[in-house]
């Protein structure tokens, strides 16, 4: 890890300094293996998202950002905190019965779901797959109900966790990120979400789930057959992607929290409201940000 840290600092030093929400570009003077890194611009071109941040994936040092400390709705990226609370609580092999209330909950807010049926019995780990891959609000509600216990207690734990992590621009009122009670009552900032993503990705159980393109749960004595597929287009399309979570509501637009590793270099970032409704726009924003860092490095380190 120290070798990587030195490599990344060498690659980025003299190229970019980011401070307190304002990007300040320096000359492209860094070199790797005595080669000049051809950084062509002081920031990634064509990023549509009004809120965004990109950081190295070890200490979370921000390399570029846009409105990093502005709180905005984050939709289902909220489920990263829900997963963090559940995994921290432990006992992921405990069995949980899906409550009847998921039907009204998902219907009321037109939330995405994992096709769960009240009365099914799944483990907490299986419910994490149901929540994080197809972005199942039914799974998020079920986990919150079990681990709170109850929604109010669980949401309080989410906010306590955010506070202990120093995420001053973050607040939760729902375990799914749905507009409950209002469009803007659950919110965060690009800088906070990078920190949250970094913490979640340090947990093997979380990392294993969000790096999966799909998960098949065969029918059993207490559950139906389920096949859950990720909503994260980067996992299909961008080399080195290892997670993590999409989001969409009318107020949040399309959002994506993501992490990749190429040439041994992890990067973590987020885009918020890339488009009113296009998941592809969020993916494209993320790719532009990632390529801005990786392409110059890969041009002198021929590793894909």
Which residue out of 35, 41, 65, 76 is catalytically annotated? 76
Give 39's contacts (C-beta < 8 A, 6+ positions apart).
15, 16, 28, 30, 296
Confirm if 142 and 125 have CB atoms less than 8 A apart.
no
Whether 76 is a known active-site residue: answer yes
Which has the closest alpha carbon to 268: 11, 58, 105, 112? 58
Token reading at 285: 């924003």
Q: What tokens appear for 81 in the block? A: 């905190």
112 is catalytic: no
Rounded to 5 degrees, what angle do the CA atoms 164, 68, 170 make? 35
Please give the backbone phi and psi of residue 262, each rounded to the nearest 5 degrees, phi first: -135, 145
- Look at residues 256, 205, 200, 198 and name the one whose alpha carbon lies nearest to residue 230: 256
Catalytic residue, from 65, 135, 176, 188: name it: 135
Query: For residue 89, how many other CB atoms are within 10 A of its CB?
Result: 15
Q: Are 272 and 237 in contact (CB under 8 A)?
A: no
**Active site annotation includes 176:** no
Q: Check: CB of residue 265 under 8 Å from CB of residue 259.
A: no
Active site residues: 76, 79, 135
């Amino acid at each position: 890890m120290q070798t990587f840290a030195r490599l990344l600092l060498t690659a980025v030093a003299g190229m970019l300094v980011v401070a307190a929400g304002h990007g300040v570009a320096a000359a492209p003077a860094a070199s790797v293996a005595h080669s000049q890194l051809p950084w062509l611009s002081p920031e990634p071109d064509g990023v549509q998202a009004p809120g965004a941040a990109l950081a190295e994936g070890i200490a979370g040092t921000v390399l570029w950002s846009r409105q990093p400390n502005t709180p905005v709705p984050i939709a289902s990226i909220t489920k990263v905190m829900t997963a963090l609370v559940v995994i921290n609580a432990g006992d992921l092999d405990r069995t949980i019965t899906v409550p009847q209330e998921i039907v009204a909950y998902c219907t009321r807010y037109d939330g995405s779901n994992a096709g769960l049926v009240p009365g099914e019995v799944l483990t907490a780990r299986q419910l994490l797959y149901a929540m994080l891959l197809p972005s199942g609000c039914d799974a998020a509600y079920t986990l919150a109900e079990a681990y709170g216990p109850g929604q109010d207690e669980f949401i309080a734990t989410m906010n306590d966790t955010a506070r202990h992590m120093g995420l001053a621009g973050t607040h939760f009122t729902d375990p799914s990120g749905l507009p409950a009670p209002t469009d803007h009552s659950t919110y965060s900032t690009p800088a906070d979400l990078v920190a949250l993503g970094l913490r979640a990705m340090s947990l093997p159980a979380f990392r294993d789930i969000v790096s999966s393109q799909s998960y098949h749960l065969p029918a059993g004595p207490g559950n139906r057959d389920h096949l859950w597929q990720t909503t994260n287009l980067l996992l299909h399309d961008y080399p080195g992607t290892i997670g993590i979570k999409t989001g969409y509501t009318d107020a949040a637009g399309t959002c994506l929290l993501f992490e990749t590793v190429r040439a041994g270099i992890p990067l973590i970032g987020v885009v918020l409201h890339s488009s009113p409704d296009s998941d592809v726009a969020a993916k494209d924003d993320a790719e532009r940000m990632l390529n801005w860092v990786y392409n110059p490095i890969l041009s002198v380190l021929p590793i894909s």
